[in-house]
Amino acid sequence: QVRLVESGGGLVRTGGSLRLSCAASGSFVSINTMGWYRQAPGNQRDLVATITSGGHTNYLESVKGRFTISRDNAKNTVYLQMNSLQPEDTATYYCNAEITTIMTPYDTDYWGKGTLVTVSS
C-alpha cells in the first residue's frame, strides 16, 4: 500500500529554519503533484505549497520568499525548506501527494500523518 512519511518537524526560535521531508513508498504507477498543508488547533487545513511533477510551484501568500518547496523524483521525496519562521507558522504540517495505482487508476490524494512545527518567541 502507498504510504507517506514526514520528518523534520520540531521546536525552533523565531527567525530560525527547518527543513521538512516526505518520502512516498509502496506500489504506484505515478506520483503527480506533491505538496504541504498545515493545520493549527481549531483551524482549517490550509495549502502551504505544491509542486507538480514538472516543477511548477504554488505558495500560500504569507510564506512566499520564506519557504521553498522542491522534490527529488528519483527518491519519491518532497521537501519544504522553511526560513525566517514566525510564531504564526506553528502548526501540524501534512504531506500530500496525487498518486495513481493499478487498483486506483486515476489521481487520488494520499496524506501523511503529519509532523509538528512549533515556533517560539
| Residue 27 dihedral angles phi and psi, to the nearest 5° | -105, 125
Stretch 87-96: mean pLDDT: 98
Residue 42, Ramachandran bin (φ over 0: left; ψ between -120 and 50: alpha; else beta): left
pLDDT in tens, 13-62: 999 999 999 999 999 999 999 999 999 999 999 999 999 999 999 999 99
> So what's the pLDDT on residue 91?
98
3-state SS of the chain is CCEEEEECCEEEECCCCEEEEEEEECCCCEEEEEEEEEECCCCCCEEEEEECCCCCEEECHHHCCCEEEEEEHHHCEEEEEECCCCHHHCEEEEEEEEEECCCCCCCEEEECCCEEEEEEC
Residue type, 109: D
Q: Is the pLDDT of residue 117 over 90?
A: yes
Q: How far apart are CA 8 and CA 22, in angstroms?
A: 9
